[in-house]
Chains A and B, each alone.
Chain A
Amino acid sequence: MALERWVSEEPFVPEPATAAPEGGRHSALALTVRRFLRHRLAVVSAVFLSLCYLAVPFAEILAPHGPATRHASAILHPPQAVHVFHEGRLVGPFVYGTTARVDLDRLVRVYEPDRTRVEPLRFFCRGEAYRLWGALDGDLHLVCPAKEGDLFLLGTDRLGRDLLSRIVYGARISLTVGLLGIAVSFVLGLTLGGLAGYYGGRVDAVISRIIETLRSLPELPLWLALSAAVPVTWSPVLVYFAITLILGLLDWPGLARAVRGKLLALREEPFAEAALLMGASGPRIIAVHLLPNFFSHLVASATLSIPTMILGETALSFLGLGLRPPVTSWGVLLNEAQTIAAVELYPWLILPAVPVILVILAYNFLGDGLRDAADPYA
């Protein structure tokens, strides 16, 4: 007698048709977002970083001057303070004009504010001409100096170039270098870590050895050696891509290790076994069942390694082995502040470090928030 059994023809619905719990059902994503939003500092950092990246394509408009424009009469000009009241009278934002003289004792130029020359800032004004995105000609700026006046909010460097403008343009390189580097690292780490975790055995042994070896090496000397290998004859754009590649090339082991560990652990979970017994293929199990479990975790750890790359670029350029002028990055700008003289006489030359520190802190807070949100038990 054949054993009678009943098999439902209905398609399998993973969520049982029970009543939703109090407060409604939430998708995993919604829960993650809610946890993230509770992390105040991370949210603030996310907003700050978005603003920074939004500024990247519009550097030409945001910067008062061009990145290479020299103001011969204002070499190593200190930052100008913005005032609002002049002799008790409301003027709106303005700076005092300065007069230059040479201090013969210390052999430096001294700029003294001239309290009679009120130079109001102009907003959304016509200034230096530029070409936006290599196509659009324009001369609109967010802020311009008064006509016949100067405006160096963060001072100028030894060639009389406006530091604020150079920092704004430098953001373009410094902010993207980390993103491209992390892309390289992500691809490498996901592939190699995935291979190790999925195949196990000998593949795993080899890849794990490579990971451990690379992780035990000091990064910076190797970065230095790799960047020294970049030919001097390469164009700035090529050098830029070479540097991102170099930064990503040494960063992937950490990510690969995370991927491998998670894959190895999740492979043994009952739900993975269940999927296997239901006839799901290997790639489907990885992509549909395993990956979503730790992808958010990966995004978080990637976020946490972007600052390393930004610092790496800064350090390389600072040592003169990374990006070179005429490319402007925060590291290149700091290269000029290399000497003690800069700290003592022209402290504003160190100002490019401020955006570096802020961006790195923001990335760290953001990464912490993302990690907590993605993986509350880690």
Chain B
Amino acid sequence: MKAARAVLEDGLALLRRAAPREGTFGAYALRRLGAMAPTLLVISLLIFLLVQLPPGSYVGNEILELKARGEGAAAERIAFLEAEYDLDKPILEQYAIWLGVWPGARGFSGLLEGDWGWSFAYERPVSEVVGEAIVLTVLVNLATVIFIYLAAFPIGLYAATRPRALGAGGLTFLGYLGLAVPNFLLGLILLYYAHAWFGLSIGGLMEPRFLGEPWSLAKAGSVLAHLVVPVIVIGTAGTAAMARRLRANLLDELRRPYVRAAAARGLTGPRLVLRYPLKVALNPFISDIGTHLPALVSGSVIVSVVLNLPTLGPVLLEALRSQDQYLAAFILVFVAALTLVGMLVSDLLLGLVDPRVRFGALKER
């Protein structure tokens, strides 16, 4: 008995030693990851139920239609699919099977095992339907985030160091513009002018002649050119908000006595601003992207539909309309996960630069 206890304690001590120490980046990262997993689980359940919500289902409608046309054989195939994808089971069981924690007709085969389900409308696995769209979705969102950082940083810096210049007013204007003009409308109009003035082909993410071509420098260039309009449209509101935040933080910092003391000793220009105040003001700038991510991903969905980008947005819309349940559920979960991962990354970045965050000293705002 005593020996068993000693072994247990030894084991625990070993684990404790192996686990990252409190306050290190590893511990912080593990904690954030641990907090994300249950959230994602709850979200996946919600989404699965949500997608099942509409009366009827794609398979049900299909069977009815086939029966009405008297095509018994095809109906049998559909019924086979129904059994294959466990559509006849209770809904919670269906969820567990879909997630991959419960054996279905094909054993353990769900999201966790990398099986994303079957698209009834496309009659192909979901992974094949969304394949390239996933990459492009991540690309569009990533490009937008980078654009927001790249644009917000100089704007915020400028507006803070020249508080009375046009910049501040322009920022406010840009913010209201991003807020008030519906995304899709801005997209439509910008797209028109990009076409009229720069001869960009309408819609899509590349020139039609590159479709299905292997990747080349010209193709990448075409994709970049086509990214400009969607990225500006999706990113305007976020840019304005981030720049405003940076400006406010930096202004607060520049009023501090130590800045005045530095100025009194003769420090001027960029060094005065960049040396310390900017570093302090930068923290919220890094993590703030997290609060804008949900809106950003939302925006990317509708903008993709309007600009006809080959991302998940249009596929989702079509899947929801035709009640293609696994396809819709997968895309919704993916989009939510993308948001969460983005927020996680921004949190981790903040933890990397600001040790106080790692110790949990800074409560969530």
A-B contact pairs, 12 of them (CB 8 A): A213-B39, A216-B340, A218-B295, A220-B302, A222-B332, A224-B316, A318-B302, A319-B317, A334-B185, A340-B192, A353-B181, A353-B182
- Tell which of A209, A224, A356, A361 touches B317, judged by Cβ atoms closer than 8 Å: A224
Considering only CB atoms and an 8 Å cut-off, how many residues of chain B contact the other chain? 47
Q: Which of A6-14, A132-140, A225-233, A267-275 contacts B (4 or more CB under 8 A)?
A: A225-233
Closest to B54 in A: A229
In the complex the two chains form, is A361's CB within 8 Å of B302's CB? Answer: no
13 more contacts with CB within 8 A, not counting A228-B323, A231-B55, A356-B182, are A218-B293, A218-B335, A219-B294, A220-B298, A220-B302, A221-B301, A315-B184, A318-B302, A319-B317, A321-B317, A340-B202, A357-B182, A364-B176
| 9 tightest Cβ-Cβ pairs between the two chains A and B | A220-B298, A228-B320, A229-B53, A218-B297, A218-B298, A360-B180, A229-B54, A343-B192, A218-B294
Q: Which of B42-50, B207-215, B351-359 contacts A (4 or more CB under 8 A)?
A: B42-50
> How many residue pairs bridge A and B at CB < 8 Å?
119
In the complex the two chains form, is B339's CB within 8 Å of A315's CB? Answer: no
In the complex the two chains form, is A319's CB within 8 Å of B305's CB? Answer: yes
In the complex the two chains form, is A225's CB within 8 Å of B298's CB? Answer: no
A71 within 8 A of B: no
Contacts of A356 in B (CB 8 A): 180, 182
Task: Report B190 CB to chain A, min CB distance, Å.
Answer: 10
Contacts of B305 in A (CB 8 A): 319
Mark interface residues in B306-339 (1 if CB within 8 Å of A CB, else 0): 1000000000110011010000100110011001
B189 within 8 A of A: yes
Contacts of B50 in A (CB 8 A): 222, 225-226, 229
A321 to B184, CA, bound (A): 15
In chain A between 204 and 260, which residues have their CB closer than 8 angstroms to a CB of chain B? 209, 212-213, 215-222, 224-226, 228-231
Closest to B300 in A: A218
Contacts of B179 in A (CB 8 A): 307, 360-361, 364
B136 within 8 A of A: no
- Tell which of B47, B302, B321, B343 touches A228, judged by Cβ atoms closer than 8 Å: B321
Contacts of A216 in B (CB 8 A): 39, 293-294, 336, 339-340, 343
Whether A225 touches B182, Cβ cut-off 8 Å, given contacts A217-B43, A340-B195, A361-B176, is no
B188 within 8 A of A: yes
A51 to B305, CA, bound (A): 35
- Tell which of B53, B182, B306, B336 touches A338, judged by Cβ atoms closer than 8 Å: B306
B183 within 8 A of A: yes
In the complex the two chains form, is A219's CB within 8 Å of B298's CB? Answer: yes
Task: Report B294 CB to chain A, min CB distance, Å.
Answer: 5
Chain A residues with a Cβ under 8 A of chain B: 209, 212-213, 215-222, 224-226, 228-231, 307, 311, 314-315, 318-319, 321, 334, 337-338, 340, 343-344, 350, 353, 356-357, 360-361, 364
In chain B between 29 and 62, which residues have their CB closer than 8 angstroms to a CB of chain A? 39, 42-43, 47, 50-51, 53-55
A338 to B187, CA, bound (A): 11
Task: Report B194 CB to chain A, min CB distance, Å.
Answer: 11
A348 to B50, CA, bound (A): 38
Contacts of A318 in B (CB 8 A): 182, 184, 302
- Tell which of A226, A337, A357 touches B181, judged by Cβ atoms closer than 8 Å: A357
B348 within 8 A of A: no
Contacts of A361 in B (CB 8 A): 176, 179-180
Contacts of A319 in B (CB 8 A): 302, 305, 317
Task: Report A320 CB to chain B, min CB distance, Å.
Answer: 8
A122 to B188, CA, bound (A): 37
In the complex the two chains form, is A215's CB within 8 Å of B192's CB? Answer: no
In the complex the two chains form, is B301's CB within 8 Å of A225's CB? Answer: no
In the complex the two chains form, is B47's CB within 8 Å of A225's CB? Answer: yes
A367 to B122, CA, bound (A): 47
A356 to B320, CA, bound (A): 27
Task: Report A324 CB to chain B, min CB distance, Å.
Answer: 13
